[in-house]
Structure 1
Amino acid sequence: MAISFDKAFGMHQQALLVRDRRAQVLSENIANADTPGYKAKDLDFQHALANAQSRQSRPMSRTQEGHFPISTQVRQEVKFRNPDQPDTGDGNSVDMHRERNAMMQNSIEYQTSLQFLNSRISGLKKAIVGTGQ
């Protein structure tokens, strides 16, 4: 009987990829907090995860060698964020408090998905190897 990792891990494998990309976007915002004209961006997590799950349910394959390879990575839904504060005069829309809060929340959610995957892998390992050795 074959093990389906897609069924075993559910959406958490895609969630990790999306959360990792969101951490990169938020880090870029923090790094550019003092860059004049920089516009804060964020990733639409729900939309990106829905796209990843829909691609998972209907796998695609290349039918001819000449076709472009199909990307298995999560398509990122990065968008500019509407600023909560008025313009400071330099055109930068990064709010450090908001970025830190978003980074912390994203980190907690990333860790939660990672712990879930670790427990699933541990359960699969016990099922394969057995507990009585």
Structure 2
Amino acid sequence: MDFNNVPIMQMMTKKMAWLSHRTEVIAQNVSNADTPKYNARDLKPVDFRELVSREAGPRNGGPRLTNARHMTGTTRATMGFDTHKTPDKFDTGINGNDVSLEQQLTRLGETQLTYQATTNLYRKHLDLFRIALGRGR
């Protein structure tokens, strides 16, 4: 069975990819904390609830087109991860650098906790599939 076609698994994989990329962006910010005129960046937030509801469209168990006069529902969209300058500048230094190490480390901690929770949830879903397939743990 290919778990990549299960919508909830796709969403968790997408979220883990977003969190991994956010960790890279935060690491770049921290490494440039002393670079003159460097502006801190962050990933644009992705609404994963909207993404899940979009994924539950016609192809994935949602409403199906049974009559040509019926509406087809939503279509699947691709999601890219875009970065942007962080709008909340805590303290801009004399050299024009606006990286706040405290803010970056807080974001890193939040990102790590969310990643751990997502991987635990992913693992639990895999366990449920194994049980359903009769393979147990």
Same fold (TM over 0.5): yes
Give the total of aligned pairs. Answer: 118
SS in 2 for 1:9: helix
Deviation at 1:108?
0.3
Distance 2:112 2:3 in 1: 29
Task: Name the counterpart of 2:90.
Answer: 84
Q: Using the TM superposition, give the Cα deviation of residue 77 of structure 1 relative to its aligned residue in structure 2, in angstroms.
A: 2.3
Query: One-letter code of the match for 2:30?
Result: I
Change (3 A) 1:19 1:91: same
Higher relative contact order (Cα pairs below 8 Å, separated by 6+ residues): 1
TM-score calculated relative to the size of structure 2: 0.71
The one-letter code of the counterpart of 2:82 is E
Q: In the alignment, which residue of structure 2 is the partner of 1:108? A: 113
Deviations along 1:8-37, one digit per CA (max 9) or x if unpaired, are 426222111111111111111011101111
Structure 1 gaps of 5+ residues are 61-71
Aligned residues: CA RMSD: 3.0
Partner of 1:64: none
Give the equivalent residue in structure 1 for 2:134.
Answer: 129
Counterpart of 1:123 in structure 2: which amino acid?
L
Normalising to structure 1: TM-score of the pair?
0.73
